[in-house]
Amino acid sequence: MCELLGMSANVPTDIVFSFTGLMQRGGKTGPHKDGWGLAFYEGKGLRLFQDPVASCESEVAKMVQHYLIKSEVVIGHIRQANVGKVSLVNTHPFVRELWGRNWCFAHNGQLANFQPAQGHYRPVGETDSELAFCDLLNRIRHDFPEPCAAEAILPIMVEACAQYRSHGVFNCLLSNGDWLFSFCTTKLVEITRKAPFGHAQLRDAELTVDFQHETTPKDVVTVLATEPLTQNEAWTTHRSGEWSLWRLGACVARGQVESPAC
């Protein structure tokens, strides 16, 4: 399985601390050695860093660690390949344009017997993940050809994710830069950091940060991950079928779909 990393914040924030912990799981403290990617939104712009090399050995990943990019929405991924060869074209996150914005997607899991109808969006690579992303955008584009708020398309996103889950494991993160959507089948955790801020210590690296010295009292930052990244903080575990919508660090909508019938 792969691992996900997401961030939603009310001010431009760097994710170096969390990414440093995740990077170790890409071949050092974890088996996810088949590539990694990290996407930062800056307004309508999107900086995307990817490498099909294990993140613990990637020179690009080391560069990103020292490149303090600040963003309000970030999506990251480390890959353990199960569908599709290890290559750049199969490396998450995936990006497509819809309504004049960059949409970004990353998936953890595997879908069996998944063959959606073709539409405007088609995968470039071979993964079931990119196929699901294209299908999801095709559904949204079909019902909403013009831009609309995330709340309007929530039913489409939730219904699609519930259907994908019937084909296997489907944990995902999706964003268009304004908001961050998550869906959990098996593993997803969250933590929201806000005043009063304290210390945090990574699980996978000897690194501690005092967020009180890195933030202001008005900052709100939520991090989502497959597994907790720190060892001294209380992370909240998502339930199977739980979805959430984040904007500026806050959860603005949340719900749960029933488990597929056996």
Residues with catalytic function: 2
* Residues pairing with 256 in the sheet: 242
Q: Please give the structure tokens belonging to residue 217.
A: 């009292």
- Distance spanning both ends of the chain, measured CA to CA: 23
d(CA 42, CA 177): 8
Q: Examine residue 93 and say whether the peptide bond preceding it is cis (omega within 30 degrees of 0).
A: yes
Q: Residue 160 is inside which H or E element, if any?
A: helix 150-165
Do residues 250 and 10 lie in contact, with contact meaning Cβ atoms separated by under 8 Å? yes
Over the Cα atoms of the chain, what is R_g? 17
Do residues 32 and 108 lie in contact, with contact meaning Cβ atoms separated by under 8 Å? no
d(CA 23, CA 30): 9
Residue type, 255: G
Other residues' Cβ atoms within 10 Å of the Cβ of residue 183: 24
Residue type, 80: Q
CA atoms within 13 A on the CB side of 32: 27
